[in-house]
Structure 1
């Protein structure tokens, strides 16, 4: 299968396309005559100029994934040719080279689909939402998810790189991530972020850097979902636009709280905010319960389904102080995370039939 089929007679346009394709790590096929039907249909993307667009429209079947390029700003002739061939983008070069780079990069992504996004929110102070988010990513990898991305969307936390012991590990953080035209390459992102466990990447923030915005967060979550990745997003209790973006993108929102009266009441207020924003939401209740409060009672106060009740994890605080979170298959954190992940698998990703 050809990567990009270039049908361009203009030498200047072709040179511009070659530069962009090299930057996007895409291979070009440059036939000198009109391609055969199979080569036309098998190409991942087709880039044409106005004259070639008209020739293709007359001789070849309709297909998706066509980009029409022209020198300078497109005029009426270019728009008419684009409509004739069914082009999805009309770009003037060299001014639109950045947008062309984004189109070529997005077309390279494996559209596996089926990715799932989890948003994990603390229902009260000290609930342990970040720790549970990491455990949920661990569980997704253990269940065979084709790729897992743990995303830090809590600017007021210690940082997921610190939690996982990756603060000294090389790899891209939020400040080094570039989002072009509202899109990001999931493949490039997976290769660039530091890896916590086999198949589990961590996109963390930078201490002292500017806070992330809602648009870049949405681009990351949606790109990963399209690539079939399981995403776990650690969300702050700030109720701002970034938190709203994470909740809006999530298939399942997990509210983590403590088995205490104060934790239940605080989580109930957070649950009220989630109403109308979360596609599906449930609560995870962490022990201990010093007053004997049952997890089912906490869930009733919060007003959300009980996803899991978790026993206290011995030695957790000490382990976090000694180089980051290390989990075992039967630890209370992982057992609860498996319950949440397995229950979400029956619901499927957002938009699934």
Structure 2
């Protein structure tokens, strides 16, 4: 049985609560004080925790026993999870925190100020209007970078006056600025971006980055000696900054699936896997789908033609066990266009149609049900 919300009233639809699962009265009292100081609504529950509640919480606070149970229940790893205890943490407490993917172990009441800061820093995306799409290739050469760029260019066109932030999370991809043909435009790239104290001003970021169209800022990796791999912490700061400002944040994720990819998947509202309509490509994508699902349940596939063996988009979606977001016809002369001045979207092109289809899933709220 679930306990009622601490406030005794339903949560407003645009405010995500802090989820707390605590057995000790002393811990509960401390967390209530911290939530009140951070001006956050607290949702206190008992185990087991429904997946929807877990996914939709702004932050999660668990005692060690709850952390172990949530990990054994195979709830997906995500950001903004804290484990709290009433005394100095020992090996068992640290193991529980590691099992659930917690960001830290806090001792209450001594660490209440740190908990207040953590809860206060988690903005409500729904209220701000920000959202995150991660795009990753199911195999090499799938076209994930091109689709990510197309989604970023399409977002502001669907919502005039809105902004998009296209973030390069593939240090070995050659740079999204080159794909968009803005490599000669002034502005910062990842090697020159410095994150201080885990915070970034979204306005300053847009002012400092190259533009690739109305309302679209590009944070690209460099090339050669200037490639420079961003840290996972810097990646999280950039994504959260964009969300806090109401931006559409689109991340092009490399297939290495390391810490950088994990940081993106933890924050994404929707993970889009791009797969060519070929059997070997679909087989290779199975491992990518499995890896993504350990971090985020909201995963869908865009299937890219041609299909030499006659495989349909729904065939590949069924093979992978995830929903089909779009089936994209081959786009004539796309490779040549990318070599001559970068990506330019035509309104009725297959690439544009696929970008619109992905954004429609996100905007309809269906992303929270893609599983």
| TM-score with structure 1 setting the length | 0.67
2:164 is aligned, of 148, 154, 167, to: 148
Matches within 5 A, 1:236-247: 236-247=254-265
The corresponding residue for 1:100 is none
The corresponding residue for 2:285 is 267
SS at match of 1:245: helix
1:174 is aligned, of 187, 190, 194, to: 190
- Cα distance in 2, alignment partners of residues 123 and 248 from structure 1: 18
The corresponding residue for 2:154 is 139
Q: Does 1:215 align with 2:230?
A: no
The corresponding residue for 1:116 is 131
The corresponding residue for 2:328 is 310
Alpha-carbon shift at residue 274 of structure 1 (Å): 1.2
Q: CA RMSD in A?
A: 2.7
Q: How many residues align?
A: 253
Deviations 1:205-264 (A, max 9, x none): 111232111000000001110110001000001110001001111100000010000111
- Give 5+ residue unaligned stretches, structure 2: 1-35, 40-112, 115-119
- Cα distance in 1, alignment partners of residues 304 and 319 from structure 2: 15
Q: Does 1:186 align with 2:241?
A: no
- Cα distance in 1, alignment partners of residues 278 and 214 from structure 2: 36
| TM-score with structure 2 setting the length | 0.64
Q: Aligned in 2, Cα 1:111/1:304: closer, same or farther, shift over 3 Å?
A: closer
1:299 is aligned, of 310, 317, 340, to: 317
Deviations 1:191-215 (A, max 9, x none): 1101000101100011123211100
Matches within 5 A, 1:334-345: 334-345=352-363
Q: Aligned in 2, Cα 1:232/1:161: closer, same or farther, shift over 3 Å?
A: same
Alpha-carbon shift at residue 276 of structure 1 (Å): 2.6
- Cα distance in 2, alignment partners of residues 223 and 180 from structure 1: 13
SS at match of 1:256: strand
- Cα distance in 1, alignment partners of residues 206 and 156 from structure 2: 14
Alpha-carbon shift at residue 279 of structure 1 (Å): 3.9
Determine if contact 2:163/2:215 at 8 Å carries over to the other structure. yes
1:331 is aligned, of 349, 363, 370, to: 349
- Cα distance in 2, alignment partners of residues 256 and 349 from structure 1: 16
Determine if contact 2:273/2:302 at 8 Å carries over to the other structure. yes
Alpha-carbon shift at residue 268 of structure 1 (Å): 1.2
Alpha-carbon shift at residue 349 of structure 1 (Å): 8.1
- Cα distance in 1, alignment partners of residues 281 and 216 from structure 2: 30
SS at match of 1:304: coil
Determine if contact 1:154/1:235 at 8 Å carries over to the other structure. yes
Determine if contact 2:298/2:367 at 8 Å carries over to the other structure. no
Alpha-carbon shift at residue 111 of structure 1 (Å): 11
The corresponding residue for 1:17 is none
The corresponding residue for 1:282 is 300
SS at match of 1:190: helix
- Cα distance in 1, alignment partners of residues 320 and 156 from structure 2: 30
SS at match of 1:196: coil
The corresponding residue for 1:198 is 214
2:266 is aligned, of 238, 248, 253, to: 248
The corresponding residue for 2:3 is none
More deviation in 172-181 or 123-132? Answer: 172-181
- Give 5+ residue unaligned stretches, structure 1: 1-61, 66-87, 90-102
1:162 is aligned, of 178, 181, 189, to: 178
Determine if contact 2:151/2:359 at 8 Å carries over to the other structure. yes
SS at match of 1:300: helix
The corresponding residue for 1:52 is none
2:275 is aligned, of 227, 237, 257, to: 257
- Cα distance in 1, alignment partners of residues 366 and 312 from structure 2: 29
Alpha-carbon shift at residue 314 of structure 1 (Å): 0.3
Deviations 1:138-159 (A, max 9, x none): 2211111611011101011121
SS at match of 2:309: coil
The corresponding residue for 2:145 is 130
